[in-house]
Amino acid sequence: MSGSIQEAKRKLSLPALMHQLGLGKYAKKSACCPFHDDKHNSFSIWQNGDGWAFKCHAGCGAGDEINFLELHEKLSRRDAVKRFLELADVNGSAPYVPPPNDMKQARSAFDWHACVSAFTDKHLERLAKWRGYSSEFCSWLKQDALIGLHEGCIAFPVHAEAGHVVGAHYRLRGDDNDWRYYPNGVKARPLVIGELIAGDPVHVFESQWDGLAFMDKSGERSGIIVTRGSGNGALVSGLIPQGSTAYAWKQNDETNGKLIKAEKWLRDLVAHTKAKVLWVKTPEQHKDLNDWTRAGASSDDLLAAMLNADVICEVPAQPQERQQAENKRQPLTIRKIGEILGMSFDDKELVLPNGYLALGERTAICGMGGVGKSRLIMQLALCCRAGRDFLGWETQRPELRWLFLQTENSNRRLKYDLARMLSEFTTGEQEAIKAGVFFHTLEADDDGFLMLDAENSERIATAIDTLDAHIVVFDPLRDFGSDDLNSDRYMTETLREISRITKRGNPKRIPLIIHHAGTGKAGILKATGFDRSSFGRNSKVLFSWVRAQINIAPGSADDNNTIVICSAKCSNAKEFEPFAATLNEETMLYSRDEHFDLEAWQHSLASPRGGADKLNIDVVIDLLPLTGSIPKAVVIERLRDKGIGEKRSREFIGANLAPLGPVHEWHIKRSGKRDEIHLALEPQPEAPSETES
């Protein structure tokens, strides 16, 4: 039979089945649910490695094509299979005739939506006050059909394996510890909120009050499991996906001389999952997480507790054969021309629409030490979160979260820069920035050593997973190296490991590498031109690995307040022209410097005498004849030979023209052409009059 079902799924996929049933308008990633009166999009279908699947996030159900028929036509599993085979015309299945009592059973089914409707605004207000939840979160619970009223008692849905609601778990009034199930025969099942996705973190709670408190404070709306009691730790069996990390929020039960209930819950949870499990500790003075949040715990407090959680179960070791199979590289991806031409791409994946920062791709920022690389990328993160332009570049995706893994800047330096940077943003922008930009700080002895050995790789991967970071900054690359990064071999190994730990569980994450460049004039000259690919130290491997690279060089030999920003590579779009940016020391933010003479800067680097810094009136006068005039273009060309750029030369000459200076401008008439501009040390003679001629 299983072979017939797989054949039927190949012939009649879920979208095709829905169209055949007249429900094609619901066959989308986001749509109203066809199984209940839906005012918000709570239904979705998608394709994964096992085929097609659907889910109603309000609780109607979830599953494959057969589960869909069970819900749509109110069939038993056996009858839904027969019906599906008949619709797919597999094995010559006879037309399906539903038993006469099926509709009777459907009419007597538990009505969870009636429970949700009974939960009024007054109940929402009482819940928020009682449990310390925000009113917005309580409204969301009702909107997503996660809370209701059964016979006047607060209730939560109980879902069958197929995903639809089959009963209620309700609390008897006046007794917080007396919970019942309705109707009779409904067994205890965990409350799962949102999707449980392989590689993503999963948060497990004994009590729904703790789970909801976490969701309210953290903003999470997925990856939540509530076991509905300390005796139900084993019910997580089969729920936590492979590759995920489970955060167990155990309650602080009072010791009674025996194994306390919460400890048994944690032990049972560990025994019934193959995932890595971390015990997140609630402060001892609070009996549980909800008690802690009612006492004032913030999202930052919860995050700190997660980062300090104890690992109580690592991922179990796998048989050697299975491990080898998992480590085996996937076959090469080969596409036909027609497939490539038929591809479509979402421009929203470009964090910087100019192509230099894109989801799932790798970017490098190279510059010598102290030039301001870290501060510049901090500004980029703040602008992205605030939805502001960055140095004239448009930004997108303000919801993305940034994690800076850095080993060079002290907390004092970070505080100084961030306080001044944030002063230029509105209160609302500051809140958005604070909620989505995180820094690894130098406080413990091991904080400054992040070389990617097995232990540090796991520490970093756990931090990325815990924060659900989308853009991970490695600053500087040198301190993450598995060995000497001057070796191509070790540079390659380091970059591969960075890619692996960054994209574990989310291939769309961006590793953003900050790397040191060579010093001195010879090194700075490589920021632009033919040698820009070798600007970073041992950068040929890095340059090949990244999709985009930006080079940063000092604009002056005396200080780094002005920097020159150059493109080294962009695989997604046309490269930008070099430009300068100057630091405002009051705000610690950079802005474009439109007056900076790039040509003069380049000549000053090429000239051993640094002629660009020696432009004065005597230099210009020496180029002018004692009598008569010389074309202005010739003067500018000779100044260029001295390492002085055209823009700077024209501005200087214009400022020294008579009567303010000793230089005179002559206009030489040419037949049929514009006047030719000359320079001279004396005024231009007057043209002879017609009578004189």
Instruction: Give pLDDT tens digits for 553-565.
Output: 999 888 889 999 9
CATH of the domain at 369: 3.40.50.300
Mean pLDDT for all residues in the chain: 86
Give the CB-side neighbour count of residue 383, counting CA atoms within 13 A.
Answer: 20
What is the mean predicted confidence (pLDDT) over 186-215?
92
Same domain membership, residue 277 and residue 186? yes
Asked whether residue 258 carries a pLDDT value surpassing 50, the answer given is: no
Long-range CB pairs of 173-176, under 8 A, 24+ apart, other chains included = none
pLDDT for 561: 93
What is the mean predicted confidence (pLDDT) over 486-491?
82
Give the CB-side neighbour count of residue 357, counting CA atoms within 13 A.
Answer: 26
Q: Is residue 618 part of a domain?
A: yes
Same domain membership, residue 374 and residue 258? no
Question: Which has the higher per-residue pLDDT, 255 or 107?
Answer: 255
pLDDT for 415: 95
Q: Is residue 542 part of a domain?
A: yes
Q: Is residue 603 part of a domain?
A: no
Residue that is last in its domain, among 574, 596, 618: 596
Q: Which amino acid is at 324?
A: Q
For the beta carbon of residue 302, count every other beta carbon within 10 angstroms.
23
Asked whether residue 693 carries a pLDDT value surpassing 50, the answer given is: no
Asked whether residue 552 carries a pLDDT value surpassing 70, the answer given is: yes
Same domain membership, residue 165 and residue 99? no
Distance (Å, whole) CA 604 – CA 593 = 18
Interior/surface letters 321-330, b for 16+ CB within 10 angstroms, e for the rest? eeeeeeeeee
CATH of the domain at 76: 3.90.580.10
Same domain membership, residue 255 and residue 242? yes
Distance (Å, whole) CA 564 – CA 584 = 15
What is the mean predicted confidence (pLDDT) over 397-405?
95
Q: Is residue 258 part of a domain?
A: yes
Asked whether residue 193 carries a pLDDT value surpassing 70, the answer given is: yes
Q: Is residue 328 part of a domain?
A: no
Same domain membership, residue 138 and residue 17? no
pLDDT for 254: 59
Lowest-pLDDT choice from 45-49, 341-345, 467-471: 45-49
- 301-323 pLDDT, tens per residue? 898 888 888 888 877 545 444 44
pLDDT for 321: 46
Local structure of residue 680 (DSSP, 8 states): E
Same domain membership, residue 547 and residue 650? no
**For residue 214, what are the CA distances in angstroms to 4, 131, 301?**
44, 12, 11
Asked whether residue 480 carries a pLDDT value surpassing 70, the answer given is: yes
- Name which of 147, 183, 144, 149 is nearest 166 in CA terms: 183
Residue that is last in its domain, among 60, 78, 107: 107
Same domain membership, residue 222 and residue 263? yes
pLDDT for 176: 62
Look up the domain containing 281 and give its range. 112-313
- 142-176 pLDDT, tens per residue? 988 899 999 899 999 998 876 788 899 999 876 66
Distance (Å, whole) CA 223 – CA 53 = 18
Question: Which has the higher per-residue pLDDT, 50 or 53?
Answer: 53
Same domain membership, residue 666 and residue 637? yes
Distance of CA 291 to the CA centre of its chain: 32
pLDDT for 175: 61
Distance (Å, whole) CA 560 – CA 570 = 25
pLDDT for 44: 87
Say how many residues make up the chain.
Answer: 693
Give me the phi and psi of 642, to 5 degrees please. Answer: -85, 5
pLDDT cut 70: percent of the chain above it = 90
Domain count, the chain: 4
CB 519 within 8 A of CB 368: yes
pLDDT for 392: 95
- Name which of 75, 68, 76, 38 is nearest 52 in CA terms: 68
Same domain membership, residue 467 and residue 359? yes
pLDDT band at 427 (very low <50, low <70, confident <90, very high): very high
Residue that is last in its domain, among 68, 84, 107: 107
Lowest-pLDDT choice from 35-44, 516-525, 676-685: 35-44
pLDDT for 186: 87
pLDDT for 101: 47
Asked whether residue 132 carries a pLDDT value surpassing 90, the answer given is: yes
- 454-466 pLDDT, tens per residue? 888 888 998 998 8
Distance (Å, whole) CA 287 – CA 230 = 14
- 28-37 pLDDT, tens per residue? 878 888 888 7
What is the mean predicted confidence (pLDDT) over 525-530?
88
Distance (Å, whole) CA 17 – CA 85 = 11
**DSSP of 308-362:** TPEEEEPPPP--HHHHHHHHSPPPPP---HHHHHT----GGGEEETTTTEETT--
Asked whether residue 130 carries a pLDDT value surpassing 70, the answer given is: yes
Same domain membership, residue 82 and residue 129? no
Q: Is residue 306 part of a domain?
A: yes
User: Please, which residues have CB within 8 angstroms of residue 248's CB and are 6 or more apart in sequence?
Assistant: 204, 266, 269, 277, 278, 279, 280, 312
Highest mean pLDDT, choosing among 77-91, 206-220, 537-551, 628-642: 206-220
Q: Is residue 666 part of a domain?
A: yes
User: Please, which residues have CB within 8 angstroms of residue 208's CB and are 6 or more apart in sequence?
Assistant: 156, 191, 226, 228
Same domain membership, residue 368 and residue 279? no
Same domain membership, residue 126 and residue 33? no
pLDDT for 688: 61
Q: Is residue 140 part of a domain?
A: yes
Lowest-pLDDT choice from 244-253, 418-427, 554-563, 639-648: 639-648
What is the mean predicted confidence (pLDDT) over 46-57?
81
pLDDT for 103: 36
Distance of CA 121 to the CA centre of its chain: 35
